[in-house]
């Protein structure tokens, strides 16, 4: 099985020993505490689940700047984005060596993790903008990732953490949420050696479905991990429970049995394009996958990134050997009226634009909101039915 990133064995930061966990929860009752941002909470969940292996906690400013500029921590660990706990205020934890991190996304703000405080530093606007520019390739506050990042605060609290629960993800998505550690165990149990992962924050239409099948066949893979983001998204994106239902129905009806694992992870979307594509690859390597499908505008938003920048970064900026997972480079896919199937467009230079079925996202949402199913060449009718109910419900 593929090794995790940066270590021989995956080291999730969740406290598995029940007695130790209960003792930490009891200790946390008397520790100085702070309600963290949703971004920091998601980072804690990812650290707990082993997705951020081999990190042991939150980065300090120097490490974050190094990662932003060079994609390496100051300790020489390859990592594509800074993993930070940024706070608006540190008044409740000032001078503390150990603190309780409280969950902003669960009622009552329960303890999510306990952090040892190595440093509390104030980050400057210049440093924040430097990180933003390097990671997101823009400082435009219209970019949803930038808007969120620059709103987190000015105080960076660094140090190792011990994670005590997985926030709302286990309760809200019991059939879907899995840690990297759990997925590795599932893959091992299935006897899969070559596993291709597909990242999604959207319901899957025909092109996505066929892309998974094309990669599976061409790589001669043992299985597919359809791995959906379950955390916070930008306004207008389809909620995770609706996406989950769509994907499960599509796989049930249209994929061969026992070829697909449908799983999700608890992270808030960054919309950081190329850098986030590399992060997605690192997640999947830690989860035991050998390949990740990287398609057009992977993890992008608006027109901030070129259509294939997320593929270029692996060739031009990721050092050779930094990751063991391989990339399956996908082109724009669409239904060919000539061939009566979904194809990767670069492979059919004889086709003209009118030979394909194209629908904009706006047009699809409009159709679904009006109770009209998009053509079956674009979206499976079973998926369209679930989405129609959702769009009609938010319209009314």
* pLDDT tens for each residue of 73-122: 999 999 999 999 999 999 999 999 999 999 999 999 999 999 999 999 99
141 & 186 share domain: no
Number of domains the chain contains: 2
Encoded tokens for 38: 């949703």
**Is residue 13, in this structure, part of any structural domain at all?**
no
**Is residue 324, in this structure, part of any structural domain at all?**
yes
Look at residue 359 and tell me whether its pLDDT is greater than 90.
no
76 & 155 share domain: yes
**b/e for 151-170, b at 16 or more Cβ within 10 A?**
ebbbbbbbbebbbbbbbbbe
345 & 391 share domain: yes
Q: Cβ distance 325 to 2 under 8 Å?
A: yes
Last residue of a domain, one of 106, 135, 170: 170
Mention every residue, 6+ apart, whose C-beta is less than 8 A from residue 43: 52, 58, 83, 84, 85
Encoded tokens for 181: 């550690």
CATH number at residue 200: 3.40.50.620
293 & 376 share domain: yes
Residue 234 CA to residue 130 CA, distance in Å, equals 23
205 & 333 share domain: yes
Look at residue 234 and tell me whether its pLDDT is greater than 90.
no
**Is residue 4, in this structure, part of any structural domain at all?**
no
Residues with a catalytic annotation lie at: 201-202
**Is residue 273, in this structure, part of any structural domain at all?**
yes
155 & 211 share domain: no
* pLDDT tens for each residue of 200-224: 998 998 999 999 999 999 999 999 9
Last residue of a domain, one of 170, 189, 224: 170
132 & 48 share domain: yes
Last residue of a domain, one of 124, 142, 170: 170
**Is residue 10, in this structure, part of any structural domain at all?**
no
Q: Show the domain range for 141.
A: 18-170
Question: How confident is residue 237, by pLDDT bands cut at 50, 70 and 90?
Answer: confident
**Is residue 12, in this structure, part of any structural domain at all?**
no
Question: How confident is residue 362, by pLDDT bands cut at 50, 70 and 90?
Answer: confident
- pTM for the model stands at 0.96
């Amino acid at each position: 099985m593929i090794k995790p990133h940066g270590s021989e064995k995956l080291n999730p930061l969740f406290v598995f020993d029940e007695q130790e966990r209960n003792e930490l929860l009891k200790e946390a009752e008397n520790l100085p505490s702070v309600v963290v941002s949703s971004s920091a909470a998601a980072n804690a969940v990812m650290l707990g689940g082993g997705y951020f292996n081999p990190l042991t906690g939150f980065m300090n400013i120097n490490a974050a700047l190094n990662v932003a500029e060079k994609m390496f921590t100051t300790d020489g660990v390859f990592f594509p984005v800074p993993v930070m706990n940024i706070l608006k205020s540190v008044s409740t934890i000032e001078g503390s060596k150990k603190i309780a991190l409280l969950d902003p996304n669960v009622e009552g703000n329960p303890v999510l993790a306990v952090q040892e405080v190595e440093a509390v530093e104030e980050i400057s606007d210049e440093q924040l903008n430097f990180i933003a520019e390097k990671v997101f390739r823009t400082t435009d506050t219209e970019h949803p990732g930038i808007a969120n990042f620059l709103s987190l605060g000015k105080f960076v609290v660094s140090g190792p953490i011990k994670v005590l629960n997985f926030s709302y993800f286990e309760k809200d998505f019991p059939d879907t949420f899995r840690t990297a550690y759990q997925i590795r165990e599932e893959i091992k149990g299935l006897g899969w050696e070559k596993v291709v992962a597909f990242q999604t924050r959207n319901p899957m239409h025909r092109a996505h479905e066929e892309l998974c099948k094309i990669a599976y066949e061409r790589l001669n893979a043992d299985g597919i991990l359809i791995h959906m983001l379950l955390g916070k998204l930008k306004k207008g994106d389809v909620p995770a429970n609706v996406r989950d239902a769509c994907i499960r129905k599509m796989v049930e009806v249209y994929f061969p049995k026992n070829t697909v694992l449908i799983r999700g992870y608890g992270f808030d979307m960054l919309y950081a394009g190329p850098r986030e594509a590399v992060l997605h690859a690192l997640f999947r390597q830690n989860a035991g996958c050998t390949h990740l499908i990287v398609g057009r505008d992977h993890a992008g938003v608006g027109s901030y990134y070129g259509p294939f920048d997320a593929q270029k970064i692996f060739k031009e900026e990721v050092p050779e050997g930094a990751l063991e997972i391989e990339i399956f480079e996908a082109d724009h896919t669409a239904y060919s009226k000539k061939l009566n199937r979904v194809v990767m467009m670069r492979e059919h230079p004889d086709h003209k634009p009118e030979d394909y079925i194209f629908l904009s996202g706006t047009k699809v949402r409009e159709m679904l909101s009006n109770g009209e199913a998009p053509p079956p060449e674009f979206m499976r009718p079973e998926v369209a039915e679930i989405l129609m109910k959702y769009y009609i419900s938010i319209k009314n």
